């Protein structure tokens, strides 16, 4: 199944997600996906909403189709990103939740938990999310009800 990503992907993390974010870059390279890392650049403490904004704003404006965010649990990043219109950030902790977030919810931002996922599982979750197309149909009607 082909990877479904137009142009490029952007990603960011806070300090708790930094190590996992770094381990996901080779996965993107292996898949031939162009990406831009918007930080953070170390495990020095930072505030996750600042980095969620760096990904959510360009996705919200339509400048980029997809983004990936990593923090300790993924929850804070998802909550912050979902404050932006047009962003549908989904926390995925396994391949099934990743698949369904794309297939049913057309998630355009993936949130991962650096303290909850090891690198191998996170790679499988990311790859599943990237390869799963949106099903459309009745799901598109529901997605349309999310936006004001």
Decide if 84 is inside a domain: yes
Give whole-number Cα distances, 38 to 2, 50, 67, 137, 143, in Å.
26, 11, 10, 34, 28
Decide if 130 is inside a domain: yes
Decide if 118 is inside a domain: yes
- Report the C-alpha gap between 110 and 125 in whole angstroms: 9
For the cut 60, the answer to whether the pLDDT of residue 125 exceeds it is yes
Residue 105: which CATH number?
A: 3.40.1400.10
CB 40 within 8 A of CB 15: yes
Q: Among 2-6, 87-91, 116-120, 122-126, whose mean pLDDT is lowest? A: 2-6
Tell me what the mean pLDDT of segment 36-47 comes to.
Answer: 98
> How many domains would you assign to the chain?
1
Q: 42: which residues sit within 8 A by CB, 6+ positions away? A: 15, 18
The pLDDT score that the predictor gives to residue 78 is: 98
Decide if 1 is inside a domain: no
What pTM was estimated for this model as a whole? 0.95
- Report the C-alpha gap between 112 and 91 in whole angstroms: 6
Q: Which two tokens mark 6?
A: 């137009």
Q: Which two tokens mark 102?
A: 């794309």
Decide if 74 is inside a domain: yes
Domain extent at residue 109: 9-141
Tell me what the mean pLDDT of segment 80-86 comes to.
Answer: 97
Which residues lie across from 71 on neighbouring strands? 113
What residues are labeled active site?
Answer: 71, 104
Counted residue by residue, the chain has a size of: 148
Mean of per-residue pLDDT scores for the chain = 94
For the cut 50, the answer to whether the pLDDT of residue 114 exceeds it is yes
Decide if 133 is inside a domain: yes
CB 111 within 8 A of CB 89: yes
CB 105 within 8 A of CB 139: yes
Decide if 48 is inside a domain: yes
Decide if 148 is inside a domain: no
């Amino acid at each position: 199944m082909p990877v479904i990503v137009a142009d490029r992907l952007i990603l960011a993390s806070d300090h708790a997600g930094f190590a996992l974010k770094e381990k996901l870059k080779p996965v993107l390279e292996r898949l031939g996906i162009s990406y831009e890392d918007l930080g953070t650049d170390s495990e020095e403490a930072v505030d996750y909403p600042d980095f969620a904004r760096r990904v959510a704003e360009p996705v919200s404006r339509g400048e980029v189709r997809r983004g990936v965010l990593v923090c300790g649990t993924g929850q804070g990043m998802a909550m912050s990103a979902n404050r932006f219109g047009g962003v549908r950030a989904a926390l995925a902790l396994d391949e099934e939740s990743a698949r369904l977030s794309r297939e049913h919810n057309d998630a355009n931002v993936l949130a991962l938990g650096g303290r909850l996922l090891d690198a191998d599982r996170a790679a499988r979750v990311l790859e599943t999310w990237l390869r799963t197309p949106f099903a459309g149909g009745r799901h598109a009607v529901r997605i349309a009800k999310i936006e004001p």
